[in-house]
Amino acid sequence: MGANVIMVASGKGGTGKSTVAVLLGAELAARGRRVLLVELDSGLRSVDYIAGVYGKTVYDVEDVLNGRCEAGKAVVESPVYRNLYVISAPYSGGHILPAALRVFVEKVGPVFDTIVLDTAAGMGVPFEAAMGVAHRALLVLTPDPVSIRDGRIVCDALEAGGCPEIRLIINKVPRTLANCGIQSLDECIDTVGAQLIGVVPFSTEIQKAGATGAPLAPAGRPRLALRAIAARLCGQYTPLVIR
Ligand SMILES: Nc1ncnc2c1ncn2[C@@H]1O[C@H](COP(=O)(O)OP(=O)(O)O)[C@@H](O)[C@H]1O
Ligand SMILES: [Mg+2]
């Protein structure tokens, strides 16, 4: 059987797609799954930092898709998260061809349990390519009006593209929504029109790691939130409120 393919998407940039992709991949890996995380955001790499594989990659996803190297040569195991394997995006832009991505997923599918495709913001080439192979999409947004509006547009595009399942992750949620420009998280869910799968709190630890390029190994509530999302993806009931 082939791997379960999950794409991570957003409307607005910087909502935390790559962060969520790595931490969720790590939690699925911790549950015993072999996880391949492929970063498709050409020219705007960040997964290599977050997963701690910076400087360890020679080949990238375009080398693999264009047949310049075997997939095995581009795959690097994260030194931070066991069982999480990463293929980085190229340093400079290029095209991810949907047909090539499909062939790649079919080829490596039997080797992994889950393939996480970390896309770029909006509905460009990586988004289209990922949508062609994904079994479900995780739409990551932050609790603010622009992110919600853009999330709605992407959700509509996923529905129009026939994506079998769309689930919402609200990331960077502060303790109070007083300065967010929205009344409640229900507003995000109702406006976007997708079922919620998890809420990840704003974390100064994640923010600091992002600012310094340090690999991410957060503890506490953000970790528990991602662990709960991984459990839900595996079909396990997990309450929404984390205490
Ligand atoms: N839950 C969070 N709390 C605080 N900062 C976060 C959180 N999630 C992501 N970030 C920060 O937001 C920035 C953008 O995250 P990133 O994952 O690169 O977004 P994207 O892939 O959507 O562009 C990074 O600096 C990252 O550290
Ligand atoms: Mg990213």
Asked if residue 216 belongs to a domain, the reply is yes
Ligand 1 contacts CB of residue 45 (under 6 A)? no
Query: Residue 142: CB partners within 8 Å, gap ≥ 6?
Result: 12, 15, 16, 170, 171, 172, 173
State the pairing for strand pair 114-118/136-141.
unpaired
Which pLDDT score, from 0 to 100, does residue 49 have?
87
Q: What is the CATH number of the domain that holds 16?
A: 3.40.50.300
Divide the 243 residues of the chain into consecutive groups of 10 and give the mean pLDDT of each group.
92 95 95 95 84 88 89 92 92 83 92 96 92 97 96 98 97 93 94 96 89 75 93 92 61
Residue 116 resides in a domain: yes
24 in contact with ligand 1, CB cutoff 6 A: no
239 in a structural domain: no
What whole-number distance in Å separates Cα of residue 237 and Cα of residue 193? 22
Give CA–CA dist 168/186, Å, rounded: 12
Q: What pLDDT score does 218 carry?
A: 65
Q: Is residue 243 part of a domain?
A: no
- Residue 51 has a pLDDT of 87
Question: What pLDDT score was predicted for residue 135?
Answer: 97
- Specify the pLDDT at position 243: 54
Please report the DSSP string for 83-118 in residue order: TEEEEPPPSS-----HHHHHHHHHHHGGG-SEEEEE
The answer to whether the CB of 198 is under 6 A from ligand 1 is no
Q: Which domain holds residue 182?
A: 4-233
Inside any domain, residue 238: no
Question: Whose CA is closest to atom 27 on ligand 1?
Answer: 210
Between CA 142 and CA 140 the distance in angstroms is 7
The answer to the question of residue 241 being in a domain is no
Starting from the CA of residue 41, give the closest ligand: 2
Q: Is the CB of 46 under 6 A from ligand 1?
A: yes
At residue 184, the pLDDT reads 92
In whole angstroms, give the CA distance from residue 243 to residue 238: 12
Q: How many CA atoms lie within 13 A of 197 on its CB side?
A: 26
Asked if residue 165 belongs to a domain, the reply is yes
Phi, psi of 46 (to 5 degrees): -150, -20
Give the number of domains in the chain: 1
Q: Which two tokens stand for residue 147?
A: 């992110």
Domain membership flag for residue 183? yes
CA of 120 to the centre of ligand 2 (A): 6
